[in-house]
Amino acid sequence: MPKAYVLIVAKKGIQKDDLLDPLMSIEEVKEAYQVLWNFDIVAKIIVKDIRQLKHTIISKIRQLPEVDKTVTLIAAEN
C-alpha cells in the first residue's frame, strides 16, 4: 500500500483550521496536521496503488477551494 505525504499551501485568507475538516473528510487522508514554515498543512495519504494516489491528489485534494498548491512526497518502502 503506497503512502504519501502531501504538503499543502492554503489560499490567501484561508485559516489553516478551515482546511483540516475538508481534508479529513477524504477517505484516503489518514492524518492531517498544521505545520510551520513554507507549507500550511501536511496530510498523510494511504492508498491501494499509485493510480488511486494520483486520483486522490488531483481530483480530491487539489479540488478543495481552500487549496492553492500541493507537493507530494511518496514514501519509499524498505
Whether pTM > 0.95 for this model: the answer is no
- Domain carrying residue 6: 1-41
Q: How much is the pLDDT for 78? A: 65
| CA distances (Å), origin 60, targets 36, 37, 64, 76, 78 | 23, 24, 7, 23, 28
Is residue 53 a part of any domain in this protein? no
Task: Write the pLDDT tens digit of every residue in 27-57.
Answer: 999 999 999 989 999 999 999 999 999 999 9
Task: Write the pLDDT tens digit of every residue in 9-19.
Answer: 999 999 988 99
Number of structural domains found in the chain: 1
d(CA 29, CA 44) in angstroms, rounded, equals: 6
Q: In 10 A of CB 4, how many CB atoms?
A: 18
Is residue 77 a part of any domain in this protein? no
